[in-house]
Amino acid sequence: MRLKRILERVRGADVPFLFLIYGNVARADAQALVLGATDTLPAGAAIKSLRSRIIRMQREAVTKGTAAKLAIEARQYLIQTFGSRRAVMPDVAMTGTELIVRAIRESGIQDWVLAVQRFGDATHQRCLLVAGLAAAFARSLVQ
């Protein structure tokens, strides 16, 4: 547990953690899980495998960060739009729609859902989840 606390202090929340496994795979997998590893790789793996795994983890971290930023931006837009108590005009609705469509296009529906689920307000979650699912569905129809 000391190692886990040290890793939590050193790593940022969105920094991936690749755990290299040597020896007893089942035990090492359990240790990786306890320490919060993002992924595991046998220590004897070729350098090419290690490099490609690290590149994939970096891309995933960037994508998740993008989804979180865009979800926060969409939530703020939702609060401003409906908090103003003014009529929602088509151009205002279109701006919000474009924001969510961009988020789905750049990060995908899975990362969008994970990012939105971090919000504490259930109403905002539902609004953004429904909008995101509708955008992802529409995108799948045109592809």
Residue whose C-alpha is closest to residue 115's, from 78, 77, 61: 61
Given this model, what pLDDT does residue 33 score?
82
Pairing of β 39-42 and β 18-21? parallel
Within 19-89, residue ranges assigned H as helices are 25-35, 47-83
pLDDT for position 46 = 57
Residue 18 · residue 53 · CB < 8 Å: yes
Say what the pLDDT of residue 103 is. 82
Low-confidence spans in the chain with pLDDT less than 50: none
Q: What is the pLDDT of residue 47?
A: 65
**How many C-beta atoms lie closer than 10 Å to residue 105's C-beta?**
12
45 neighbors 64 (Cβ within 8 angstroms):
no
Structure tokens at 105: 């296009």
